[in-house]
Structure 1
């Protein structure tokens, strides 16, 4: 067995810097808090939204993998996170808009320790940050949840996928699982402060493979296009 002991990636980071770092690793406290949060969210989704999941057998047996889906509500992340159990649930990170969820200390604490989100800074994510996300995905056997449209839809219609998803997956031997959410926009649209009860359906498609694509602009665009087509086909 090839066993290597290495220090935590976030060793030495100041608390505020650690919250917003792509190197952040989970401690016992954050794992316990996230377990409680996930249990509460799962119960809420069953009771208030009667969450119905189709295609669960298409999820890979274990990490690493990526879930991609259409995006029109904060319920989207909760619904996708709720289908991950065991090792996948413990290693799951939502990639969240840094300018929304990591803007203040309070929101950053919640995003980091309850949702286990990692920040993506719109229009200013650096190449080194993308490289770190790619490295951690494979080496730390993580699960990423992300929405390639880049922002929530205001009318429920799905927008084109941005090539940013391609920068994460092109050339990597990591399954990308397309998912389609229905009902989230009606239950909690972007212009509503709090959600209301309403049926949510989640369809999980067969994993996509982008290991053969070049990690360059052409490969990024092709990956984004393939992910978008796969999600649309689930509707």
Structure 2
């Protein structure tokens, strides 16, 4: 019920303010497991994705978003929960494994799982090297990967700025990618890299971003 209310209210608000243009939504199957994999430039990416896709999109988020105290903490917990976020302690030693297993469970339930292969937001608007968790998920579950691109969201919520701004937004989905030819090879690091790079190549084509063959976390540290 909370998701329906959130989507109805914020969906109407965002359609009025941003008039988001959606391309290729028909590539998302109406049932069965689907992995949505795209670029990540700003905090509001997941919000636009959740409000635009008809099916509920579940994604991983930091558990600190839902563990706050007081009224603000409760409101944040409700908001992120209603928008489809599954809290995971990604900073712990087993954070990556927990996130992977959570995604696998969602897909095995026949649901939609959203993931940003870069692993973090882009520090400068360019597209960075993808991490192979996306490849492990599709090979372990057989779920197709639908690449997508968020275009213009970095202008809605510029890095370091507070309130969102009004700017045109386009969400573009590509055709599903089928990696069944690699079935049973989810432990082969060369296969994992090849699958991940194919997904990122499609995201780059859809977004028009400049590609950087470096992990975004390394770029941020530098």
If the length of structure 1 is used for normalisation, what is the TM-score?
0.75
Distance 2:156 2:53 in 1: 22
Stretch moving more, 63-72 or 123-132: 123-132
> Residue 177 of structure 1 corresponds to which residue in structure 2?
146
Shift of 1:126: 5.3
Asked if 1:101 corresponds to 2:70, the answer is: no
Task: Indicate the RMSD between aligned Cα atoms, in angstroms.
Answer: 2.2
Unaligned runs of 5+ in 1: 1-31
Partner residue, 1:14: none
Equivalenced residue count is 198
CA distance in 1, matches of 2:139, 2:79: 27
Q: 1:134 to 1:53 in 2, by over 3 A?
A: same
Query: 2: distance between equivalents of 1:206 and 1:148?
Result: 17
Match for residue 199 of structure 1 among 154, 163, 168: 168
**Residues 166 and 223, structure 1, Cα contact 8 Å, conserved in 2:** yes
Structure 1 residue 134 and structure 2 residue 71: aligned?
A: no
Tell me which residue corresponds to 2:34: 65
Q: Which structure features the higher share of helix residues?
A: 2
TM-score (ref. length: structure 2): 0.79
Q: Identify unmatched segments of 5+ residues in structure 2.
A: 209-222
The Cα offsets for residues 95-117 of structure 1, whole Å up to 9 and x where unpaired, read as 2234x534535276235522221
Give yes or no for contact 2:130–2:200 (8 Å, CA) kept in 1.
Answer: yes
